[in-house]
Amino acid sequence: MKVVGARLPRYDGVGHVTGQTQYVDDVRVQGMLWAKALRSPVHHAKITHLDTAKAEAMSGVHAVVTWRDVPLLEYGHLSALGIPADEPLLAKDTVRYMGQPIALVAADDEDTAQAAVNAIEVKFEELPTLFDVRNAFDEGAPKIHQWGNWYPHFEGDMDRRQIRKGNIEDAFDRADKIISGVYRPAAIEHVPLETQVSLVVPEPDGRLTIYSCTQALYFSLAVVAAHLEVPMNRIKIVGGTVGGGFGGKVDTATETLTALAAMKANRPVKWRWTREEEFLVSSTRAPWHMEIIDAVTEDGWILGRKMLTLHDSGAYARFSPYGLTKHSFHHTGAYTIPNLHFDGYVVFTNRTPTTAMRGFGVTSISFAVETHLSRIADELGLDPYEVRLKNANRINDTSPNRIRYTDPSSVEVIQALSEAAGGELAPAYAGATRAPREGEMLPEHLIGQLKTEGH
């Protein structure tokens, strides 16, 4: 092979590092207006009064968009997969997080747009808030979402994602040690250099050209078309070059509202978020709460795992049900554990809705599982490499979903790490491979499982 495997320079690298790449905010068109949003100043409230008349009457203001202007107010990014929508494009009667958009103003410049936002009359009746996922289930907890405090629409009307495999009680009975821990990685920001931005140009033929920083052109096309209730050929998304996304630009953050403002004003409109909006209002990686209880033998085999996950979704579901499902499918990490009992909930809180970010659903698991394994090795006085090599996925082992691994390389990467770090493995571990288990690497608890699953 000549081209595949070659260390070629990045296709678009020169443009990026010399500042010549054209990003969305670099695009300026004749007659372009600028947008600013009215956002909720409180975490949870009823909207008791909303009057945009003064803002609309201001000189230089060309459109004020509220929920009344949105043809389909609620459409979820995963509606196409059967996950129902819960989040209005603009708040109608309730705000559930600080910063939730209520109206969008398009004006001659950003200062005029902001002055018009400030002129919108809005009143709130504040409601009790919920921020700690652990208290979401308490009897006295404030109810903060129309569906209750946790997502109730998993397949089969389940209110949680559940994995059950093998016989968990038996695993705990047979265990030499039962080791439990709680793992709580923080929410973090995506911090793209390019903040959320879009420019929408109404074309003479009635189409809309939408300049977008989306990570997913067709996702955005489908979402905008659904909200506007127009066929896809009415919209052209222009993009493909993104100034950093890391998952935060899978959501269609600005395109639909900018389009509505452009249609109402019949002028091109650009909406670009300030750095402060990017930090305080854009989605974060979710904070997770994970509790792991492992049943282990003295020599480091993991017989069974019980796990509880509370996924802090923020005020709306967005991609969280998808993220939690992926999380549940991978909750054994790179290891084979035959007896499993997993319960996971997508919990609503009054914070900015969380969303996809690099490693979605699994970054949390990798941290929790690996820290827990290091603890197990430490408690049992075993080599952390050896505990991992023992339990590492091998051909014919099965995943939490009972899918057989056909070509895992966890054994190889652990061995290569040991070598790169200057370590020395005992012969039984240095010679291990991905091949189906046999001998010392096929303990009784896995023989039983392989038989049950017909391998």
With both helix axes pointing from N to C terminus, report the angle between 255-265 and 217-228 in degrees, rounded to the nearest 10: 50
Residue 361 interacts with other proteins (CB under 8 A): yes or no: yes
Residue 451 interacts with other proteins (CB under 8 A): yes or no: no
User: Residue 57 or residue 180: which is nearer to other proteins going by CB?
Assistant: 180
Residue type, 111: D
Residue 6 interacts with other proteins (CB under 8 A): yes or no: yes
Gap between the Cα atoms of 446 and 363, Å rounded: 27
Could you tell me whether strands 33-39 and 101-107 are parallel, antiparallel, or unpaired per DSSP bridges?
antiparallel
> How far apart are CB 408 and other proteins at their closest, in Å?
7
Which residues 430-449 are close enough to bind other proteins by CB under 8 A? none
> How far apart are CB 209 and other proteins at their closest, in Å?
8
User: Residue 53 or residue 417: which is nearer to other proteins going by CB?
Assistant: 417
Which residues 204-263 are close enough to bind other proteins by CB under 8 A? 214-219, 221, 232, 235-242, 244-247, 249-250
Residue 370 interacts with other proteins (CB under 8 A): yes or no: yes
Q: Which residue's entry shows tokens 């309730």?
A: 94
Among 19, 421, 439, 451, binds other proteins (CB under 8 A): 421
Residue 338 interacts with other proteins (CB under 8 A): yes or no: no
Closest CA to 377 of 288, 294, 289: 294
Residue 17 interacts with other proteins (CB under 8 A): yes or no: no
Q: Are residues 38 and 257 in contact, defined by beta-carbon separation less than 8 angstroms?
A: no
Closest CA to 230 of 204, 259, 203: 259
Taking CB under 8 A as the rule, which mask of x and - marks residues 176-215 in contact with other proteins?
Answer: xxxxxxxxxxxxxx-x----------------------xx
The answer for residues whose C-beta is within 8 angstroms of residue 358's C-beta and 6 or more apart is 246, 247
Residue 452 interacts with other proteins (CB under 8 A): yes or no: no
Residue 395 interacts with other proteins (CB under 8 A): yes or no: no
Which residues 131-160 are close enough to bind other proteins by CB under 8 A? 131-139, 141, 154-156, 158
Candidate ranges 53-61, 103-111, 253-261, 393-401; the one touching other proteins (CB under 8 A) = 393-401
User: Residue 45 or residue 369: which is nearer to other proteins going by CB?
Assistant: 369
Q: Are residues 277 and 110 in contact, defined by beta-carbon separation less than 8 angstroms?
A: no
Closest CA to 177 of 341, 293, 292, 297: 297
Which two tokens mark 297?
């033998």
Residue type, 5: G
With both helix axes pointing from N to C terminus, report the angle between 384-391 and 410-420 in degrees, rounded to the nearest 10: 160
Which residues 49-88 are close enough to bind other proteins by CB under 8 A? 81
Residues comprising the chain, all counted = 455
Q: Are residues 337 and 305 in contact, defined by beta-carbon separation less than 8 angstroms?
A: yes
Q: Which residue's entry shows tokens 């201001």?
A: 58
Candidate ranges 68-76, 125-133, 255-263, 441-449; the one touching other proteins (CB under 8 A) = 125-133
Which two tokens mark 19?
């500042």
User: Residue 3 or residue 427: which is nearer to other proteins going by CB?
Assistant: 3
Which residues 275-334 are close enough to bind other proteins by CB under 8 A? 275-276, 279-280, 284-285, 287, 289, 291, 293, 306, 308, 310, 312, 322, 325-326, 328-330, 333-334
User: Residue 146 or residue 180: which is nearer to other proteins going by CB?
Assistant: 180
